[in-house]
């Protein structure tokens, strides 16, 4: 029995978690020029508002979680590349033990008189109470005569100049440091160094990503078998969520989208409560977490079990665009260029296969409704929030989404029958960049028309 199963996250594999997290910290230490600082979340998400309570078990900032495995608030991390002893290079600050708090919410990794278990669990040799953070930092700055500190907060050099996010806990931590040191010490963002390391998944992250894909594939196959029994978007979403979560060790990767008919034209549809209409398409966006990794999948299926001729034309265009995108992905390629190629592919295919055959359409966007790819990792939308990574070359080990789509009003006459409807179609798989291209790690999740139709009518 693991008393800290949701407090200290252990990646898949035979290598001890402490070694995995320590290896990541060592890699980052090599990138640092001065002391580097990370603040975990100050409090559990939702607890800052009286009326809000979040039930998700994953509470920690991904940057902190990636380096420590600690999924609890109130912690800080100091990395010192200037220290001579290995123990001093990695210092963890924990909240003091709170027996009453643990009585209410369960065991936490905390500072106490007996740290042997905590050191063994976390892999840190130097652990201090969080109340000692500022004293320790002041002494370190003085000892090494530092005029700069590298701190994790979201600031990046983009094409439009320096952009940052100041309202989150990382921004508030940076502001505290600036106020504390004034002009005597520059506070510099290390976010880009951290993300450059983090967005290339190590073998343990890749293993958990594959595990999430397997759970997602099993859930979707069961979903197709039960499709005829769902009456509402809510019925469908609850079934799919349960089938993913019953297999997993964690939460959903994100709130599931289940959008029927015209609702599928809302990209981040959240209602999930309207009736399923026979003959309409049902678009779903879903995924599950394994360890700290995620699956991110979209599928579009016909309510009633069969695509009509109009839907088949449009679905085939999106599916072919998805396969085209996968054929482009390789190390050294740039996502911004690959994305543009996919939307050009869809525009040309829509003209050749639909408009030139008498079809009419009103798209709800100008050529590009959303990105085809984003990075996936510790976050479902991994990497810097301004997507600077779109203009950096892909590297082996990166995991990206592959999610083209079409959204709008379409009408056409085929074999004497007129078809007209509002349609939203998205198909999403996850691609792992390899040394010579990419691997579709979602390949086991049905997406071909014939395979999905057959699965829906067999039972």
Q: 204-219: per-residue pLDDT in tens?
A: 999 999 999 999 999 9
pLDDT digits (tens, 9 = 90+) for 417-442: 999 999 999 999 999 999 999 999 99
Residue 30 has pLDDT above 60, yes or no: yes
- CATH number for the domain that contains residue 163: 3.40.350.10
User: What pLDDT shows up at residue 106?
Assistant: 87
User: What pLDDT shows up at residue 384?
Assistant: 94
Binned at pLDDT 50, 70 and 90, residue 249 comes out as confident
Per the prediction, the chain carries an average pLDDT of 95
pLDDT digits (tens, 9 = 90+) for 288-300: 999 999 999 999 9
452-459, long-range: CB < 8 A, 24+ apart: 452/224, 452/299, 452/301, 453/302, 453/305, 453/306, 453/307, 455/221, 455/224, 455/225, 456/224, 456/225, 456/227, 456/228, 456/301, 456/302, 456/305, 457/305, 458/225, 459/225, 459/226, 459/228
Q: Could you say which of 153, 170, 199 is where a domain stops?
A: 199
DSSP 335-381: HHHHHHHHHHHHHHHHHHHTGGGT-EEEESSSS-SS-S--EESSSSS
412-417, long-range: CB < 8 A, 24+ apart: 412/310, 412/313, 412/354, 412/357, 412/358, 412/359, 412/360, 413/358, 414/309, 414/310, 415/309, 417/309
User: What pLDDT shows up at residue 56?
Assistant: 67
Q: Which tokens belong to 165?
A: 């996010």
Residue 55 has pLDDT above 70, yes or no: no
Looking at the structure, tell me whether residues 136 and 212 fall in a common domain. Answer: no
In a domain, 301, yes or no: yes
Looking at the structure, tell me whether residues 207 and 157 fall in a common domain. Answer: no
Mean pLDDT of all residues in 320-347: 98
Q: pLDDT exceeding 70 applies to what percent of the chain?
A: 98
Q: Could you say which of 165, 182, 199 is where a domain stops?
A: 199
Looking at the structure, tell me whether residues 88 and 232 fall in a common domain. Answer: no
Q: Is 387 exposed, middle or buried (0-12, 13-18, 19+ CB in 10 A)?
A: middle
Whole domain around residue 78: which residue ranges? 17-199
User: What pLDDT shows up at residue 367?
Assistant: 84
Specify whether the CB–CB gap between 33 and 148 falls below 8 A: yes
Binned at pLDDT 50, 70 and 90, residue 1 comes out as low
Total structural domains within the chain: 2
Mean pLDDT of all residues in 352-359: 97
- 36 DSSP β-pair partners: 79, 150
Specify whether the CB–CB gap between 47 and 217 falls below 8 A: no
Looking at the structure, tell me whether residues 285 and 356 fall in a common domain. Answer: yes
Mean pLDDT of all residues in 47-52: 77
Looking at the structure, tell me whether residues 351 and 375 fall in a common domain. Answer: yes
Looking at the structure, tell me whether residues 450 and 326 fall in a common domain. Answer: yes
User: What pLDDT shows up at residue 43?
Assistant: 87
Q: Which tokens belong to 330?
A: 């390789």
In a domain, 336, yes or no: yes
Mean pLDDT of all residues in 402-406: 98
In a domain, 6, yes or no: no
Q: Which tokens belong to 99?
A: 């027996």
User: What pLDDT shows up at residue 301?
Assistant: 98
In a domain, 229, yes or no: yes
User: What pLDDT shows up at residue 147?
Assistant: 97
Looking at the structure, tell me whether residues 139 and 217 fall in a common domain. Answer: no
In a domain, 11, yes or no: no
Looking at the structure, tell me whether residues 220 and 364 fall in a common domain. Answer: yes
In a domain, 4, yes or no: no
In a domain, 207, yes or no: yes
User: What pLDDT shows up at residue 195?
Assistant: 97
Count of Cβ atoms closer than 10 Å to residue 323 Cβ: 15
Looking at the structure, tell me whether residues 331 and 347 fall in a common domain. Answer: yes
User: What pLDDT shows up at residue 459?
Assistant: 43
Looking at the structure, tell me whether residues 23 and 111 fall in a common domain. Answer: yes
Looking at the structure, tell me whether residues 210 and 153 fall in a common domain. Answer: no
Query: Rounded to 10 degrees, what is the CA torsion of 204, 206, 208, 209?
Result: 160
The pTM of the full predicted model, rounded to 2 decimals, is 0.94
36 CA to centre of own chain? 24
Place of tokens 């469908």: 236
Q: Could you say which of 173, 199, 225 is where a domain stops?
A: 199
Looking at the structure, tell me whether residues 316 and 290 fall in a common domain. Answer: yes
Q: Which of 380, 446, 452 is nearest to 217 (CA)?
A: 446
User: What pLDDT shows up at residue 45?
Assistant: 83
- CATH number for the domain that contains residue 417: 3.90.230.10
Mean pLDDT of all residues in 43-51: 80
User: What pLDDT shows up at residue 44?
Assistant: 82
Q: Which of 122, 97, 456 is nearest to 306 (CA)?
A: 456
């Amino acid at each position: 029995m693991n008393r800290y199963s949701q407090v200290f996250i252990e990646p898949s594999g035979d290598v001890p978690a402490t070694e995995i997290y320590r290896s990541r910290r060592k890699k980052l230490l090599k990138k640092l020029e001065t002391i580097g600082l990370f603040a975990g979340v100050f409090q559990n998400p939702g607890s800052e508002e009286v009326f809000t309570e979040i039930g998700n078990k994953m509470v920690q900032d991904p940057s902190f979680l990636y380096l420590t495995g600690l999924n609890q608030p109130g912690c800080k991390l100091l990395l010192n590349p200037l220290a001579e002893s290995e123990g001093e290079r990695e210092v963890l600050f924990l909240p003091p033990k709170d027996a009453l708090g643990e009585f209410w919410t369960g065991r936490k990794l905390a500072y106490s008189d007996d740290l042997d278990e905590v050191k063994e669990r976390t892999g840190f040799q130097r652990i201090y109470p969080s109340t000692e953070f500022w004293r320790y930092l002041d002494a370190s700055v003085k000892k090494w005569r530092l005029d700069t500190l590298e701190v994790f907060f979201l600031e990046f050099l983009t094409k439009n100049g320096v952009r940052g996010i100041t309202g989150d806990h990382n921004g508030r931590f940076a502001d505290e440091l600036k106020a504390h040191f004034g002009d005597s010490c520059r506070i510099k963002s290390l976010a880009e160094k951290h993300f450059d390391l983090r967005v290339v998944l190590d073998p343990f992250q890749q293993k958990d990503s594959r595990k999430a894909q397997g759970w997602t594939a099993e859930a979707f196959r069961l979903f197709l078998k039960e499709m005829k029994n769902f009456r509402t978007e809510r019925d469908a979403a609850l079934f799919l969520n349960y089938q993913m979560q019953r297999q997993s060790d964690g939460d959903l990767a994100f709130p599931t989208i289940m959008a029927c008919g015209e609702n599928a034209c809302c990209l981040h549809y959240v209602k999930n409560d309207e009736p399923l209409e026979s003959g309409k398409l049902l678009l779903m966006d879903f995924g599950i977490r394994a360890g700290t990794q995620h699956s991110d999948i979209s599928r579009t299926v016909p309510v009633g079990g069969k695509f009509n001729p109009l839907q088949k034309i449009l679905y085939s265009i999106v599916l072919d665009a998805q396969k085209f995108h996968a054929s482009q992905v390789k190390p050294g390629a740039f996502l911004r260029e690959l994305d543009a190629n996919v939307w050009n592919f869809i525009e040309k295919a829509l003209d050749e296969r639909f408009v030139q055959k008498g079809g009419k359409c009103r798209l709800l966007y100008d050529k590009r409704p959303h990105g085809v790819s984003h990075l996936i990792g510790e976050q479902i939308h991994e990497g810097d929030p301004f997507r600077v990574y779109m203009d950096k070359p892909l590297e082996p080990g990166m995991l990206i989404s592959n999610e083209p789509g079409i959204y709008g009003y379409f009408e056409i006459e085929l074999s004497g029958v007129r078809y007209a409807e509002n349609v939203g179609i998205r198909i999403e798989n996850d691609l792992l960049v390899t040394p010579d291209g990419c691997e579709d790690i979602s390949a086991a999740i049905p997406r071909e028309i014939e395979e999905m139709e057959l699965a829906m009518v067999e039972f």
